Amino acid sequence: MGLLDQPRAKLATLPTPLHLAERLSAELGGPRIYLKRDDLTGLAFGGNKTRKLEYLVGDARTLGATHLITTGGAQSNHARQTAAAARWAGMTPVLVINSSTPQPALQGNLLLDQLFGAEIHLVTSEAERAQKMDELAADLRDSGAVPYIIPGGGSNGVGALGYVAAMLELQGQLYEQHIAPKRVYFAAGGGGTHGGIAVGGALFGVDYDLVGVLVEDTSAEGIERAFTVAAWCAERLGIANPVDKAALIADDSQVGAGYGIPTDACLEAIRLLARTEGVLLDPVYTAKAFAGLIADIRAGMFTADDSVVFIHTGGAPALFAMVDMIAPILG
Which amino acids are annotated catalytic?
76
Q: Say how far apart CA 94 and CA 90 lie, in whole Å.
A: 13
- Rounded to 5 degrees, φ, ψ at 164 are -65, -50
- Exposed e or buried b for every residue in 247-273, given b needs 16+ CB within 10 A? ebbbbbebbbeebeebbebbbbbbbbb
Reduced to 3 states (helix: H, G, I; strand: E, B; else coil), residue 13 is: coil
3-class secondary structure, 144: coil
Range 119-123 contact pairs with CB under 8 angstroms and sequence separation of 24 or more: 119/92, 119/93, 119/94, 119/95, 120/95, 121/94, 121/95, 121/96, 121/97, 122/97, 122/98, 123/96, 123/97, 123/98, 123/99
What is the SS3 assignment for 217-265? CCHHHHHHHHHHHHHHHHHHHCCCCCCCHHHCEEECCCCCCCCCCCCHH
Give Cα 211 distance to the centre of its chain: 14
Dist. CA 72–CA 89, nearest whole Å: 21
147 three-class SS: strand
What 8-state DSSP symbol labels residue 118? -
Q: Could you tell me which of 90, 83, 84 has the C-alpha nearest to residue 43?
A: 84
Rg, Å, the chain Cα set: 19
